[in-house]
Amino acid sequence: MTNPTCIIIDDEKLARDLLREYLESMEGIDLLDECSKGSEAVEKINKLKPDLIFLDVQMPGMTGFEVLDEIDHEPYVIFITAYDQYAIRAFEKNAVDYLLKPLDEDRFRQAVTRALKRKKMEEGGLENLLGSLRQVNHKGSYDSHIFVQKSEKLFNLPVEEIIYLEASGDYTIISTKNDQFVSSSGIGKLEEMMNPDIFIRVHRSTIVNVNYLKEIERHFNGGMVVKMQSGKSFPVSRTYAKQIRKKVV
């Protein structure tokens, strides 16, 4: 089995050198390349398809967030920056971690370990486990109700009332018309429980209920945005755009 791969993206040479030094002292992850510019990073990410990227926020010409908006491939992301004000936005992009400079090696190792653990869970053992459970279950059957935590109680939530689901770190935020719930299950696990004819994944971090979808907006660059009846909008990543196109008549 090959090791997970990564790319370093930072306009500061000293930061790239330090990240490379930290990675060389770790086993189980291979460094594919380094980039100092956002435009270069977009090209390398789409070409090399790394499992993980270490991404600076402030770079000349293109920010780290703009890099994520432009790429086709969707790696796991660890932001590395000198600015703490972008943390919330970073986790909205489903970042695995957000590290502040100057970097601490132990903290860096924790972040990498967390990213590799999530990759293994989402792409390996969890999928196999869910696949086995689906074989035992009746074919074509999906949960009509799920139990979600609300204070100290488990609330019986009809699945049809879910408007959208958003990944937030290792958790999932489930939104209905009048409430929100936080599930300790990953978004991939919840996706397996829901009818794919109704719940469509539009991004690695977002699933929407088409019954609450108002319209789809196409952008001049080929990108798409889904707009919900509530007014909430979500970008459609290129990876999942084909699921939307299947419903275009």
The CATH number that applies at residue 155 is: 2.40.50.1020
Question: Does 28 share its domain with 77?
Answer: yes
Q: Residue 111: inside a domain, yes or no?
A: yes
Question: Does 27 share its domain with 92?
Answer: yes
Question: Does 18 share its domain with 46?
Answer: yes
Residue 137 has pLDDT above 50, yes or no: no
Q: Residue 140: inside a domain, yes or no?
A: no
Considering its fold, how many domains does the chain have in total? 2
Question: Does 191 share its domain with 115?
Answer: no
Q: Residue 132: inside a domain, yes or no?
A: no
Residue 239 pLDDT: 78
Taking residues 12-39, report their average pLDDT: 94
Q: Residue 138: inside a domain, yes or no?
A: no
How far, in Å, CA of 49 to CA of 43, rounded? 10
Q: Do the beta carbons of residue 172 and residue 240 sit within 8 Å?
A: no
The tens digit of pLDDT for each residue in 171-212 reads 899 999 989 998 888 898 899 889 988 999 999 899 999 999
Question: Does 34 share its domain with 94?
Answer: yes
Last residue within a domain, chosen from 76, 93, 125: 125
Quick one: 9 exposed, middle or buried, by C-beta within 10 A (0-12, 13-18, 19+)? buried
The tens digit of pLDDT for each residue in 152-177 reads 677 889 999 999 999 988 889 999 99
Strands 224-228 and 30-35: unpaired
Question: Does 93 share its domain with 169?
Answer: no
The CATH number that applies at residue 65 is: 3.40.50.2300
Taking residues 50-67, report their average pLDDT: 94
Taking residues 76-103, report their average pLDDT: 89
Question: Does 157 share its domain with 217?
Answer: yes
Strands 206-209 and 164-168: antiparallel
Q: Residue 97: inside a domain, yes or no?
A: yes
Question: Does 16 share its domain with 116?
Answer: yes
Q: Which of the 8 DSSP states describes residue 161?
A: G
Q: What residue numbers bound the domain in which 97 lies?
A: 5-125
Question: Does 150 share its domain with 109?
Answer: no
How far, in Å, CA of 81 to CA of 198, rounded? 39
Residue 227 pLDDT: 93
